[in-house]
Structure formats: C-alpha cells, structure tokens
Amino acid sequence: MKTYAPSDEVDVCVIGSGAGGGPVAYELARAGARVVVLEKGPWYTAKDFVHDEIGMCRRDFFVPRVSDEPRVHYWRDRPRPTKGVDAWISCCVGGGTVHMSGYVFRLHPEDFVMATRYGARVSGASLADWPISYDQLAPYYDKVERVIGVNGVAGANPFEPKRSAPFPYPPMAHHPLAGLVDKGARARGLTAFPTPRMILTRPKGDRNACAYHPFCGSYGCDTGAKGSTLASVIPAAVATGRCEVRAGCMAFAVSRSAAHPDRVQGVRYYDPSGTPQEQKARVVVMSASAIESARLWLNSELPDPSGQVGKHLTLSTLGKGYGVFDIGSLPPEMTVEVGAGVQHLQRSLQDFYLLKDQAGGYDKGGTAVFQLVHTNPIFAMERLARRARPKLWGADLMRAVKRYYAEVRELEFELFGEFLPNPGTFVGVSDDVKDTWGIPVAEVHAAPHPADTANSRRMVQECVEVLKAAGATETGVESVGGTTWVLQHGTCRFGSDPRTSVLDVNCKAHALDNLYVVDGSFLPTSGGVPTTLTIMANSFRVAEQLIGGFKKRQPP
C-alpha cells in the first residue's frame, strides 16, 4: 500500500471509510489523485468475522466503549440526559457497511420534494426540497449496483422508481417460509417482492458469492459477498497505488489555512500511538457519519454562517412486529429448521410508501422488510422473555424457548419510515463530557415528530394483518414509532441557498472552497427506505465533480 508522510500535501484527505468515504476514495484514486483515508477504527479482515453473538454484538467490536467515547442523549420524554453508545454506527474500515443487512432501496421521486409536497400540511417540521432530482441521482444508483454488487428482480416491485437496467445480479434464494408473506400480501391486496440486497449472488473478482450463513446482519461477512466498502471499493482504491488507508487514526479537527481563510489546509488527528499529527491536503472530505461529522465541524470551529450545522438530524422511524406459525399447520418444505440451508426470507412491501387513505394530508409511509428472526440465541431468549406479561423467567422461559425452536416458526417485519426533520432533533457538542482523547463528545437531542409515529402505527397494523392473513396463530408488536439509530442524516444539509443550507449542490461547504461532506449529513430528508444506497450513490456523484475539477486544473 502506498504511504504518504503526514507533512506531505496529498490531493484528498477523506475522514471515514464507510458508505460515503469508500466510494469517493475509490473514484479519486482511480482518477490519479493522491488519497489518504483516516479511519478511527481497526482494519478487520475476513478471519476476524467469527459467528459469536457475544463478541460481535454485545461487546465493543464495532462501537466504542461507553467509558472511551460516550454519547450524551437528550430524549423528548425523559427528564435527564443519559450516556451511552446509541447512535454509533460502526468504527472500523468499512464503517456500517461491514455489519449491515444489505437492504438497499432507491428513494422515490417524492422524497426529493418533501417541502413542496408537505410544507403546508405538517406543522413543526423543518422540511426542505433537494437541490437535485431523482433523475439526476438515478445514474449513480445504477453505478453502485454495478460496482458494489446489488441483487434483485427489476419490475417485481410495482412501486419501484424507474430504472434504466435490470439488477446486475440475480436475486438471492429465499426460504420457503417466504410463501407465507406472499399469501398474506395477496389476501390484503398487496404486492410482496424479493428484497434487493447489496450481496453478491455470483462471484465478482476476488469476492465470493453469498454462502447463506445464519449470521449476516450485525456481523461482518467472511466471504466478501456483502457489499461493504471493506470488501469492495477500499481494496480497489488501495490497489491503484495512490490510496493510503490509515486505521486507528482519530480526526479531531479540520484545520483552516492561515493564508486563505476560505479554505481548509488539512486534518489534525491522533495516530495509533496517540501522537497528534496533521495531514495536509488540497481537499478534505468528511464522512464520519451525520453525528460525528457535525461534531467534528463544531469542534473544529469551522465557519457556519447559516447556523445549520448539527440541525435537522433525521434518523429512520422504526416499526417492528412478528407472527408465529404452528409447524403442524405448515407444509413440510416450510418446516425446515431455520439455521439449516437458506437463511433469508427475502420479501418486502412498499404498498404504503404513500398511505392512500391519507392523500391530501401527511401521507408519507415507508418500506416493510419481512425477515426470519435473527438466529442469535441470546437475542431470541431476550425477545421471548420481554414480550410476555409478566416477563418470563426460569422454567417458564425454558418452555418458551423449546416451543420456539421445536414447535413453531416465526416471521418478523421491520419498517423503515420517514423521520421528519424538526427543531427538537439535532446534534451539539458537550460542554463538560469528553472522550478518551479529551475531545468534547456529541450531544444528541431526539424528539420524533408525532406525525411519523402515527403513520408508523398504521403501517405496523397493516403488516400485522398480512401475517394474520398468512395464517399466524399469534402476532405481536415490538415497536411503533421507534428509532433506527444507525440510519443518520441531515446535520449538514445540501441546498442552493447558503442562508438555509451548509453544503452546495455538489456537497461542498458554502463557506469553504475545499471542504466536502459525503456521509448522510447531506440528506435534507430521510426517505422511507434504508439510506446506505443513496449515500453511496451521492458519493459517486460528488467524486465525479471533484475529478472534473482536478482535470481542469482548477482549485477543486
């Protein structure tokens, strides 16, 4: 791997290596730029991704210890702030793309004009239209699907935005229990379709096709099939000989140029030994996550003439429930033990992306993904214990566990709903809580909009009815109007007006000529889908603009 001295000025310094940082580093290195990627976490390899629930999901494999880097959380309905690790996505090379489930849907055209569509209908929301349209982003969605690798069935989703070509990879195999979702959806007049996934279904270069392990979401992929930047664009960027990835390097400030106040000159960071360094760069690209990029901007005391940095944080509104099916009522092919063979249900619904009976009002819904319950055994026991009233313990819990594994099959659904930006949900930095490096930590204020909770409730009810129509003997709801913290957006909105946005249409800071932000911070609105695909697509788009500037020999 090419290495650069921190004192050497490189063309681009990228902070973060996940969905936003990975593609831009890849494109710029391939175009001939000298690139340094700073990643605060470790550089894992396939051998590190063991199928160990305790090691992977319940310790600090992907996120920091609370004692090292706490977050301060202010919840609307809680009288006091709390410290925790909620809202960390992942700290490692590849970021959250390493442990994602790989559900990838495109935003819909209406997601780009939320202010125009709903501005007069929803009080208490700080909506904004995008400065680009779906049609302008669509070619970059295509590019992500080709370069990273996305599987699916074009045309199977009647609500899918228009696309120029089929999915580049055939759909994943599905468990026979998917037939229950198909049955229930048909009975309700809905259309279930194969869930598009950022997972290879045939080999691509050095990466293997999916091996259908039972431990996928929340785990790293030991075959390279999952479309993490760790497995895809980061190795390709390094292979150019022009990209250096420095793991274990904590960026703590973006430094200004003394000679040119409207420009930044580099990134100050602590190297793995704890020694402060500064990497000089012609261009700095921030992609540390919407929360961490806002924290870095504020701690760096960079100019913020619009006063918008950290504001308009959006997440994803979570709805979740389940259905229980007696084995005796199922055909033999559906009784195959979960954990043997095919591990994925592969069914989704977008019939209520817009709620038909609320047309003319706030009708924004979202996407439902139906899935097999995660095979993590501790997680399974916790679910069974929690959902009973009173909570199960001891012999009663053991009977429930036996029934769960031997007598029934369970399906669950997860809803990704709109999260309206609002003045009560934002990011700041703490005056008195600091991390292990002595850097002020992020304060996250969360106040979900009641309209999103109401629409989440409607979608949850509809999904429960699908499971009932499929023959579930028991159904339950685990979350309505909850929060999916790993989907973060909005703290450095892009827009055409410097008075109301932080970034311009190409995600360059309005106030600084060579600072870009390409993680979820740029999104004005969250949409009703997981946003990883959109962040990657935008990163490819921004990289194209940067490359054009370099080729013209103009200051980028």
The pTM for the full model equals: 0.97
Please tell me the distance from the alpha carbon of residue 289 to that of residue 20, in angstroms, as a whole number: 9
pLDDT score, position 86:
82
Those residues whose C-beta lies under 8 Å from the C-beta of residue 141, and which sit 6 or more positions away, are 106, 163, 533, 534, 537
pLDDT score, position 340:
55
Q: Angle formed by the axes of helices 532-551 and 21-30, to 10°? A: 30
What DSSP assignment string belongs to 411-473?
EEEEEEE-----TTSEEEEEEEEE-TTSPEEEEEEE---HHHHHHHHHHHHHHHHHHHHTT-S
pLDDT score, position 238:
98
| Model confidence at 89: pLDDT above 50 | yes
Identify whether 453 is part of a domain: yes
DSSP state of 147: I
CB neighbourhood size of 385 (10 A): 16
Beta strand 440-446 pairing with 71-75: parallel
- Please say whether the beta carbons of 476 and 387 come within 8 A: yes
Identify whether 527 is part of a domain: yes
CB neighbourhood size of 312 (10 A): 29
Q: 457: domain range?
A: 10-46+87-551
The total number of residues shown for the chain amounts to: 556
Identify whether 28 is part of a domain: yes
Maximum CA extent, the chain: 76
Please tell me the distance from the alpha carbon of residue 24 to that of residue 95, in angstroms, as a whole number: 14
| Averaged pLDDT for residues 415-430 | 97
Span 224-243, pLDDT tens digits = 999 999 999 999 999 999 99
Angle at 244 between CA 238 and CA 250, to 5 degrees: 130
Please tell me the distance from the alpha carbon of residue 525 to that of residue 287, in angstroms, as a whole number: 18
- Direct distance between the N- and C-terminal alpha carbons of the chain, in angstroms, rounded to an integer: 25
Give the residues across from 207 on adjacent strands. 204
More confident residue, 187 or 120: 187
Please tell me the distance from the alpha carbon of residue 424 to that of residue 421, in angstroms, as a whole number: 8
| Model confidence at 555: pLDDT above 50 | no
Give the residues across from 82 on adjacent strands. 73
Give the residues across from 151 on adjacent strands. 169, 197
Exposure letters 6-40 (e unless 16+ CB within 10 A, then b): beeebbbbbbbbbbbbbbbbbbbbbbebbbbbbbb
Please tell me the distance from the alpha carbon of residue 25 to that of residue 239, in angstroms, as a whole number: 12
- State the total domains in the chain: 1
Identify whether 39 is part of a domain: yes
Those residues whose C-beta lies under 8 Å from the C-beta of residue 332, and which sit 6 or more positions away, are none
Please tell me the distance from the alpha carbon of residue 107 to that of residue 128, in angstroms, as a whole number: 15
CB neighbourhood size of 420 (10 A): 26
CA distances from 411 to 82, 89, 103, 480, 513 (A): 33, 26, 17, 17, 51
**150-159, 345-354, 370-379: lowest mean pLDDT where?**
370-379
Please tell me the distance from the alpha carbon of residue 270 to that of residue 40, in angstroms, as a whole number: 9
Identify whether 58 is part of a domain: no
Of 335, 319, 318, 320, nearest to 180 by C-alpha is: 335
Please tell me the distance from the alpha carbon of residue 458 to that of residue 480, in angstroms, as a whole number: 9
Q: Give me the CATH number covering residue 206.
A: 3.50.50.60
Those residues whose C-beta lies under 8 Å from the C-beta of residue 335, and which sit 6 or more positions away, are 327, 409
| Model confidence at 337: pLDDT above 80 | no
Identify whether 489 is part of a domain: yes
Span 467-515, pLDDT tens digits = 999 999 999 999 999 999 999 999 999 999 999 999 999 999 999 999 9
Please tell me the distance from the alpha carbon of residue 425 to that of residue 115, in angstroms, as a whole number: 18
Give the residues across from 254 on adjacent strands. 267
pLDDT tier at 424 (50, 70, 90 boundaries)? very high
Identify whether 80 is part of a domain: no
Identify whether 3 is part of a domain: no
pLDDT score, position 160:
97
Cα R_g (the chain), whole angstroms: 23
More confident residue, 67 or 151: 151
Span 381-415, pLDDT tens digits = 999 999 988 999 999 999 999 999 999 999 999 99
Our CA dihedral for 161, 166, 167, 170, rounded to 10 degrees, sits at 130
Span 240-278, pLDDT tens digits = 999 999 999 999 999 999 999 999 999 999 999 999 999
pLDDT tier at 210 (50, 70, 90 boundaries)? very high
| Averaged pLDDT for residues 63-85 | 87
| Model confidence at 339: pLDDT above 60 | no
| Model confidence at 215: pLDDT above 60 | yes
pLDDT score, position 80:
85
